[in-house]
Amino acid sequence: MNIQTAADTVRHLLQAQNEAGHQPLAQNAIVYAPANIALCKYWGKRNLPLNLPQTSSLSISLAGHGTHARISIAEGAHALSINEVEIPADDPAAKRMFAFLDLFRACTGTYFTLKTISTVPVGAGLASSASAFASVVQALDTLFGWGLDFPAQSILARLGSGSASRSIDHGFLEWDRGQRDDGLDSYASYLPVEWPDFRIALVPISDQAKPIGSRDAMNRTVAESQLYQAWPNQVTRDLDLIRDAIEAKDILALGQAAECNAMAMHATMLASRPAILYWLPESVAALHRVWQLRADGIQVFATMDAGPNVKLIFEAKQQNAVEDAFDSIDVIDPFGYIEPDIGPLDDG
Ligand code: DP6
């Protein structure tokens, strides 16, 4: 089968299930998927319809910060509620999610009612789209009993949002860019390393709407920034450094490489025409504070995504010093997460 669109990809991955027919196993399915932060960033696509990245990327999941999703069959139209608020069909978030659900409706012939509860703190500047798309794929898989393996789940989540490909599991995940034109080798895999002392913290800077979303920003960077030519080499180097550092549980090597990678990503977008700058004065102040802490001997490192908020990387032994230096940060222990027996959507 010649795969050129997202719809082709879904049809291909659900081929066997399509032949068997789609029967929901229950009234609804409820799942949870964690958000993630890239330590080596995904920035730029090589194929827009299939949402294939220019480079590989690597992330850490955010434990209890993510999306609970409940999905059921609907009559006549999709319906979406986020945090118990009905989202109108003409809202951009609903349009994007309904377009994604339509990829599956083409196979199952059914509309869906989707309810999501995000446990990502409001104003923390974390995209909840990664965990949202991953949770929808896993909820559909559970509802219909498709039995999709992790690569297939990751590919399907990728069609909703690239970073969602890395939200199908907890821990460190690497999204391999893949080599194939059809994208069937472009999915994330779990790195088998448990690092109980690893911490990531969210420094809230601003919850104002961003001047430009990550998708448009990365497309403009690829099209307009001369510095983007250097990005694939940067990622190749940083990925090796970060993978090795995770393996060795070496926070200095990991932090240095992850911070450099984030700064380099922002440099590529700054050289776009017109320039893309997500940073606010408070973001710069937070970076200076990180660098001052390091000068004082505290091993803490920064990363930033498509927004003004700063995330901190460190180990448990530095947690008190980091909390003393930053007001109201949210410290996450990625390996300390225990699935709640009953999620917020389990009660009907
Ligand atoms: C800066 O995954 O939101 O967070 O695939 O277009 O939906 P689309 O982009 P998205 O981009 C994430 C960009 C980033 C880096 C990262 O998460 O790797």
- What's 120's DSSP letter? S
How many Å lie between the centroid of ligand 1 and the Cα of residue 198? 23
Of the pLDDT bands very low, low, confident and very high (cuts 50, 70, 90), residue 124 is: low
Q: Is 214 in the pocket of ligand 1 (CB under 6 A)?
A: yes
Q: Is 36 in the pocket of ligand 1 (CB under 6 A)?
A: no
Residue to mutate, 39, 42, 174, ligand 1, most ligand atoms under 8 Å from C-beta: 42
- Identify the residue whose tokens are 């319906």: 79
Residues in the chain: 348
d(CA 58, CA 173): 6
The per-residue pLDDT for range 134-178, each reduced to its tens digit, is: 999 999 999 999 999 999 999 999 999 999 999 999 999 999 999
The per-residue pLDDT for range 280-295, each reduced to its tens digit, is: 999 999 999 999 999 9
d(CA 70, CA 82): 11
Q: What is the DSSP string of 83-98?
A: TTEEPPTTSHHHHHHH
Mean pLDDT, the chain, whole residue set: 95
The per-residue pLDDT for range 12-59, each reduced to its tens digit, is: 999 999 999 999 999 999 999 999 999 999 999 999 999 999 999 999
